[in-house]
Structure 1
Amino acid sequence: MMRERKVAIRNASGERLVGLETLPAAPSVKAVLLVHGFGVTKSEYGMFDTLAAHLAEAGFTAFRFDFSGCGESDGDYVGTTLSKQRDDLRDMLSFVRERGAGKVGILAQSFGTAVTLALSPEVDAMVLMGSIAHPKEVIAALFGKEYHPEGVSAARRSTRLGPRFWPDIARLDLIACVARIQCPKLFIHGSADDIVPLGEMEALFTAAPEPKERLILEGADHGLRPKREEMYRAAEQWFTRWL
């Protein structure tokens, strides 16, 4: 029977990052770290909760966590940057390894893919969903008329960003980042995604070295509805194959 427990670490800024560890019935040295998207939480509107359960049932330890300024974690999101989230991810990945994981995979959603690519961690497999090649343009489009690069930008989800976010993100070349990642990569994207265009994933897929595969879910939106069950199976099979 799988079990779940809350975990917490301190990031490089001394902020408390809160997560959940979902354990399989039998001890496992194979772990998958789930990386949430822009301005949301470790649950990803329930998608990561279900995915963690699927992975645990398949024999993996699944971790999901809130970036600083999100969910239960410390911090103020208005001061976040992609570089700060990259450092949060690095700290969380170190924690996963300290828990005894011998093989580690990452599954990232939306802006979480940008954070993952910016870190370019040495892991054993990746699943990148709704992946972003040009994050400044994609995130600016979310804000619309509320995009204020020299002040505070406010999105429709009540997500607010300060001025440090934009120059930081402009310095990153995610096409170059993905070209350096040698582990097996599965790109999953919804054909009806109206937040991150399909071309964003295609640009990353083209630049990524082998081994790589892509799965386009016909009719699925940015949250991969109504094809989540297909996504759960594909992610589980990918990690079973490579971890």
Structure 2
Amino acid sequence: MEKINFNNSRGLKIVGNLYGVGSKTLIIMAHGFTNNKLSNGRFDSLAEDLSNIGYDALAIDFSGCGESDDDAITSKNQVDDLNSAIDFALSKGYTKIGLFGNSFGTLACLRSYRKEVITMVLVGALTDRMDYDWNDYFSQKQMNDLHTQGFFYLGTDRMHKITKQTLMDFKEINQKELLRNVDCSILIFHGNNSEDEEEVQLLERSKRAINMMKHNSRLEIIKNAKHGIRNDWDKVIEITCDWYSKYIE
């Protein structure tokens, strides 16, 4: 594994882990909300198996996360980061790009689609608007700071800047507009554990979304799994590697 960095269009440094085996195909991995390029070890294990089937992999820290430069966590910023990662990959001679997104990172994947992207795999996909009661997720002080100054910081080792737009990004998704110009095969993973209300809602939205997707796109439901599918990650890896082997060529 090699640590690399490049700049996004805003001049900020984006840091990534590049797992190289000399391939001309690169899978770029986009982490979830306030996570980082390791994704709690899930991206490391996925990259290892992608290497075993002959693909390079690049896991990036979105701006404001991990080791990348500070910025607010918003969908617009993450789309810029991911597009900059694709530009970086093309400048390094990669000829085929696949995307892998987890949770909030899936929105950036869908919004970053371009002709160089051959296929994408999305786990816990965000394909339509979600309405959260943010008081259930953040403290009263954080919500007060959001109201009075327009942002608050979340985290311990790395402080993540959460703005009003950050939270609006979950609501300002129009499924038809989001998917209209995405012209590649897509594999979507969801769990269906009834105790995970968020994942159940995301799954229902993806059931509608899959009917708008092209090129034999598929919805894969992992029985009893919760958001992130942490306990069945080996199954996600196996199916993902089979998918890329089929559609990346």
TM-score bracket for this pair, using the shorter chain length: 0.7 to 0.9
Q: 2:26 & 2:214 partners in 1: Cα distance? A: 23
Structure 1 residue 155 displacement after superposition: 6.2
1:104-119 counterparts in 2 under 5 A?
104-119=97-112
Matched letter for residue 216 of structure 1? I
Offset from partner CA, 1:114-135 (integer Å, 9 cap, x none): 1112223331011011001235
Does structure 2 conserve the Cα–Cα contact (< 8 Å) formed by 1:111 and 1:135?
no
Matched letter for residue 16 of structure 2? G
Matched letter for residue 91 of structure 1? S
* 1:138–1:201 distance in 2 versus 1, CA, 3 Å: farther
Partner of 1:195: 198
**Does residue 242 of the first structure (1) align with residue 243 of the second (2)?**
no
Partner of 1:208: 213
Partner of 1:28: 23
**Does residue 45 of the first structure (1) align with residue 40 of the second (2)?**
yes
Which of 115, 122, 131 aligns to 2:125? It is: 131
Unaligned 5+ segments in structure 1 are none
TM-score by length of 1: 0.87
Q: 2:164 & 2:125 partners in 1: Cα distance? A: 24
Does structure 2 conserve the Cα–Cα contact (< 8 Å) formed by 1:17 and 1:67?
yes
* 1:218–1:167 distance in 2 versus 1, CA, 3 Å: closer
Partner of 1:143: 137
Q: 1:31 & 1:54 partners in 2: Cα distance? A: 13
RMSD (CA atoms): 2.4
Offset from partner CA, 1:99-150 (integer Å, 9 cap, x none): 2111111010000111112223331011011001235525848636658464
Does structure 1 conserve the Cα–Cα contact (< 8 Å) formed by 2:5 and 2:15?
yes
Unaligned 5+ segments in structure 2 are none
Partner of 1:177: 178
Q: 2:104 & 2:187 partners in 1: Cα distance? A: 16
Matched letter for residue 179 of structure 1? R
Offset from partner CA, 1:34-87 (integer Å, 9 cap, x none): 1111110011100001001110111000000100010011114xx232111111
What is the number of residues matched between the two proteins? 236
**Does residue 63 of the first structure (1) align with residue 66 of the second (2)?**
no
Does structure 2 conserve the Cα–Cα contact (< 8 Å) formed by 1:39 and 1:159?
yes
Does structure 1 conserve the Cα–Cα contact (< 8 Å) formed by 2:127 and 2:173?
no
Deviates more, 1:147-156 or 1:102-111: 147-156
Partner of 2:2: 5
Structure 1 residue 226 displacement after superposition: 1.9
Structure 1 residue 12 displacement after superposition: 1.5
Deviates more, 1:51-60 or 1:216-225: 216-225
Does structure 2 conserve the Cα–Cα contact (< 8 Å) formed by 1:128 and 1:185?
yes
Q: 1:175 & 1:224 partners in 2: Cα distance? A: 26
TM-score by length of 2: 0.85
Matched letter for residue 57 of structure 2? A
Partner of 1:19: 16
Matched letter for residue 54 of structure 1? D
